Amino acid sequence: MLFFSTDYLASVINIPADLTDTFKNTFRISLLIFFLSNAFGIFSTVLIVLQKMYITSIINVIFGLLNFISVIILLNYGFGLYGIIWSQAITMAAGILFTVIYSYRSLPQMKISLSRFSKISLKEMSVFGLQMQISKMATFASDKFDELLLGVFTSLNNVTLFNVGNRIVRFGKFFPSQFIVQIAPVAAELKSKEEEEKLNSLMSDMTKYLVVITSPLFVYIFIFSQLIIFTWLGEGYETASLIVKILIAGQLANIALSAPGNSIIPNIGQPKYQMYEGLIHLLLNVSVSYFLIRQFGVIGAAYGNTIATVIASSYVFIVSVKFFGKNIFDILKSIILPPVIYSFISGAAGYLVYYIVTSSFNMNTGGSRFYGIIFLLILALIVFIIYSLLMYKSKYLNEKDTGILKKFLYKFIPSSFKQ
């Protein structure tokens, strides 16, 4: 239906007349990309279930990098928006092809045939799948709703600013998301073996590992968002740095509060809570962002999205804690807060170094992207070292935790390099 409704959508979003054809064509290509990524998603799931999620991670990294390089080349040759959208379509299709190939190599007996059709299996999968799809569609609609309202009530420039800030946030979520996918088969296996005690401890462990991985990265992005935006895009996108700060705060809450429960509970046969979270986020984002965008423009969209994210994530956190018989305040105090506090301490120390150096030597990082890249790398190293020392001194991680995190990093290394 959306495929044939582009004229109406163009009028609603206030697309200029000279850009209408471009909008319609790129929108249809985007729908095709969305359809293909969902239709072939089962092959990524096969690799994850077989404990070979590092393959999907490597594929995502390689083709993400190829997409980044091809976009730069195509833009330099003047292909504009068409270059961006076709680059994404081609690299995604190539990534899907490699995923399918590795899926069949990992599971040669896998066959897709109508003869294997079962009404009972279809019914069970439909109930489960419907709840998961409602969650995904609600999340997708909520993510795009802000941009839609910005296009209706403000200008396309604000849509661009919001999209730029949101891309930085999505990039920050990539690394912790690779850890999340590894939990699905573990949770399903523990449930099938009825090992309830281990399943309950998995919730606390998952929260710990995600906060340890995510908090320093997100705090780093929060503190140095202005430098990141300039290094990436140059001058003229200063507002995007404020958008990054607002959005990354909400996503930190999402990873710490919502992601642990959502990585376990749906995989033991209870996807309804994730569905409720998606619907709560959508309803809140629709109502709150509408008023904030009318009053504050693009910054209002960022605040509306973050408010909805924090509230919806808090719902899942409360439900998950009760589901596994944990104490809310114990998890907040002993698991979530320490890494977050250490992250802000290390981030503040990094910013202090940045301020002293730029002030003492009268260096203007806004005058050169080269300086921006150098500073980002050095500051990342400083923040990481201080954060690691604080974590080591606090003895927050035990030997088991350290071993698990090392295994997680080890899986990113291809097999050919391990030999």
Q: Which two tokens stand for residue 93?
A: 């299709």
* 395 burial level (CB within 10 Å; 0-12, 13-18, 19+): exposed
Q: How far apart are CA 386 and CA 245, in angstroms?
A: 22
- Name the one residue in this structure whose structure tokens are 């997100």: 218
- Quote the percentage of the chain above a pLDDT of 90: 17
- Produce one character per residue of 188-205: b if its CB has 16 or more CB atoms within 10 Å, e if not: bebbeeeeeeebeebbbb
In this prediction, residue 10 carries a pLDDT of 58
Model confidence pLDDT, tens digit, residues 376-394: 899 999 999 999 999 989 9
- Residue 248 neighbours by CB under 8 Å, 6+ apart: 168, 169, 172, 218, 221, 222, 225
Q: Which token pair is 104? A: 């069949």
DSSP per position, 100-120: HHHHHHH-TT----GGG--HH
The closest alpha carbon to 183, from 260, 99, 103, belongs to 260
Question: pLDDT-derived band of residue 306, with 50, 70 and 90 as boundaries?
Answer: very high
What is 132-190 written as a DSSP string? HHHHHHHHHHHHHHHHHHHHHHS-HHHHHHHHHHHHHHHHHHHHHHHHHTTHHHHHHHH
Please give the Cα distance from 203 to 192 (Å, whole number). Answer: 17
Structure tokens at 179: 């850890």
Q: Which residue has the higher pLDDT, 371 or 390?
A: 390
* Model confidence pTM above 0.75: no
Q: Cβ of 23: how many Cβ atoms within 10 Å?
A: 18
Tokens read off for 118: 């079962």
Across the chain, what does the average pLDDT equal?
79
pLDDT tens-digit series, residues 142-162: 777 777 778 777 777 788 788
- Print burial letters for 97-130: b (CB count within 10 Å at least 16), e (below 16): ebbeebbeebeeeeeeeeeeeeeeeeeeeeeeee
Mean pLDDT on 89-108: 86
The answer to whether 285 touches 146, Cβ cutoff 8 Å, is yes
DSSP 397: S
- Rounded to whole angstroms, the Cα distance separating 264 from 148 reads 32
pLDDT tens digits, one per residue of 180-192: 766 766 776 777 7
Residue 34: in which H helix or E strand, if any? Answer: helix 20-39
Please give the full DSSP string across 267-322, using - where no structure is assigned.
GGT-THHHHHHHHHHHHHHHHHHHHHHHHHTHHHHHHHHHHHHHHHHHHHHHHHHH
Any idea which of 73-87, 222-236, 289-303 has the lowest mean pLDDT? 73-87
* Structure token digits, residue 371: 């300086």
Q: What is the mean pLDDT of residues 343-366?
A: 82
